[in-house]
Amino acid sequence: MSSHPIKLSALQTRLFQAKAERKKSFEDIGKQLGRDEIYVAAIFYGQAKPTLDEIEKLSKYLNIPAAHLLAEFGPQFYPDRGGLMSIPPTDPVLYRLYEMIQVYGYPIKAIIHEKFGDGIMSAIDFSASVEKVEDPKGDRVKLVLDGKFLPYKKW
């Protein structure tokens, strides 16, 4: 698929095609799976592992044989989280996210340390959401990143 400059497996490509053919959003699919739209998108990109129940629901909702999904996402599958893009990314949306970290990363880091202490925000115990905020001057994108604070261990 030309809209995905990264390398997708044949099944991942098929997932995107089935989603497009059925005119479903990640939010629609997430409702069927009982998951957030970002988590569902992570499954499509191979960055999250669906449960057997989620595989069955994906199979039925997107009309892809469960056996095909199990062949890719079965017990042998472990997500490859990261490495999907070059740094800095060349896609304009991804580049702007990267740019936000370049510009505001240290200020956000300083405020995290000021409010929580010496530590990090987890990307494992984590959720994210994207909201559309309508505005007469132009719609706005609202990103919410929600991660558990993990203090650095002292020993």
Residue located via tokens 């995290």: 112
Active-site residue flag, 25: no
**pLDDT value, residue 148:** 97
Active-site residue flag, 59: no
Catalytic residue among 27, 96, 129, 140: 96
- Report pLDDT digits (tens) over 34-69: 999 999 999 999 999 999 999 999 999 999 999 999
**pLDDT value, residue 6:** 76
**pLDDT value, residue 155:** 87
Catalytic residue among 9, 25, 86, 122: 122
Q: How far apart are CA 16 and CA 9, in angstroms?
A: 11
**Quick one: what percent of the chain has pLDDT higher than 70?**
97
**Domains of the chain, each with CATH number or no CATH:** 10-73 (1.10.260.40), 92-151 (3.30.1160.10)
List, in order, residues 6 or more apart from 65 with CB less than 8 Å away: 59
Identity at 50, one-letter amino acid code: P
- Report pLDDT digits (tens) over 81-128: 877 778 888 889 999 999 999 988 988 998 999 999 999 999 999 999
**Neighbouring C-beta atoms of residue 77, cutoff 10 Å:** 14
**pLDDT value, residue 133:** 97
pLDDT surpassing 60 at residue 2: no
Identify how many contiguous H helices and E strands the chain contains and give both numbers: 6, 2
Active-site residue flag, 122: yes
Inter-residue contact 70 to 59 (CB < 8 Å): no
- Report pLDDT digits (tens) over 15-31: 999 999 999 999 999 99
Res. 145 pLDDT band, cuts 50 70 90: very high
pLDDT surpassing 70 at residue 1: no
**pLDDT value, residue 100:** 94
